[in-house]
Structure 1
Amino acid sequence: MQYFEDIEVGSKTQFGRYEVTRDEVIEFARKFDPQPFHLSDEAAAQTYFGRIAASGWHTASISMSMIVAHLETTKQAGLGGLGIDDLRWWKPVYPGDTLRCEIEILEKTESRSKPDRGTYRSRLSVFNQDGEKVMSYVNTALIRRRPTEG
């Protein structure tokens, strides 16, 4: 189990692999972000994207699925997220792209009022198969401290 004490400021971890499909890009867009450039080749051709592109919110959702899978593997004593800052979509994500994640630990703080927990801030970066950053944000998370004997 990974606790607050195990988190090292400055450490970086790479994980995940997710291939984006055209069908899921369109399905997500129909439900949650029905802008024409997410739904139609013709409409997308007339935009900056040039072809159907995934919604940024779809990219964020994909990254969350990779994060959860990673947390299950590492068995982190997490208590949930407290929020994100500085969300940026750097490049479009297209059907056929394969995404991966990298997390860098920026800082950690012991709770002053609840000694059984702490928080940490990390930067999540999502990259495509060419190593190009497509999305990033800074996350603040709550995590348990290692239980003490006694």
Structure 2
Amino acid sequence: MQYYEDIEIGASRDFGSRTFTEAEIIAFARQFDPQPFHVDPEAARKTAFGGLIASGWHTAAVVMRLLVDSAIDLEAGLGSPGFDDLAWLKPVRPGDTIRGRMTCIDKTPSRSRPGIGSARFMVEAINQKDELVMRFTSIGIMRFRNPAQT
């Protein structure tokens, strides 16, 4: 379990992986992002992408699931007020496996709420070729293990 005190600025950690299938890419896109290069393999071949690609929102949703499953502490974590600088850097294609990595870039104890602090993390999705496919900066709010130390 990681509390605020356990987070070190500069520390990185991998947090799981997932392989994208053509069926999942199409199903997600049909519901949430029905652009031709996400839902129609034939039409996708005629685009600048040269084939079917996952919606960036699908990639972000998968990264969020990986975070919840293996990196967000449900006892110490108190949610997030948001994120910044979302960038989709390379397309994710059927058969690609992405892994998540997070690096703490800053942390600050709350001035108004004793026992609580926030940390900013660079969150990255990296494919099986070690290429960065997505990144964003996330803010996590978390409890102190020992609130009296704040």
Q: TM-score range by the shorter chain?
A: over 0.9
TM (norm. structure 2) is 0.94
In the alignment of these two chains, the number of paired residues is: 148
Deviation (angstroms), 1:52 = 0.6
| 1:9-57 deviation per Cα after TM superposition (whole angstroms, max 9, x unaligned) | 0000012110101100000000000001101122111212111100000
| Match of residue 5 from structure 1 | 5
Deviation (angstroms), 1:71 = 2.8
| Match of residue 81 from structure 1 | 80
The alignment yields a C-alpha RMSD, in angstroms, of 1.4
| 1:44-97 deviation per Cα after TM superposition (whole angstroms, max 9, x unaligned) | 11212111100000000000111011136x666100011010000000000100
| Match of residue 34 from structure 2 | 34
Report sequence identity in percent.
Answer: 47
- Structure 2: unaligned runs, 5 residues or longer: none
Q: Confirm whether residue 139 of structure 1 aligns to residue 138 of structure 2.
A: yes
Deviation (angstroms), 1:148 = 4.5
Stretches of 4+ aligned residues off by more than 4 angstroms: none
| Match of residue 66 from structure 2 | 66
| Match of residue 116 from structure 1 | 115
Q: Distance in 2 between matches of 1:22 and 1:30?
A: 12
Q: 1:148 to 1:111 in 2, by over 3 A?
A: closer
Q: Equivalent residue of 1:66, what SS?
A: helix
Q: Distance in 1 between matches of 2:139 and 2:147?
A: 24
Range with greater deviation from structure 2 (117-126 or 34-43) = 34-43
Question: What amino acid maps onto 1:102 in structure 2?
Answer: R
Q: Distance in 2 between matches of 1:32 and 1:117?
A: 35
Q: Distance in 2 between matches of 1:148 and 1:19?
A: 40
- Structure 1: unaligned runs, 5 residues or longer: none
Question: What amino acid maps onto 2:50 in structure 1?
Answer: G
Q: Is the 2:114–2:147 contact (alpha carbons within 8 Å) kept by the matching residues of 1? A: no
Q: 1:148 to 1:142 in 2, by over 3 A?
A: closer
Q: Is the 1:17–1:98 contact (alpha carbons within 8 Å) kept by the matching residues of 2? A: yes
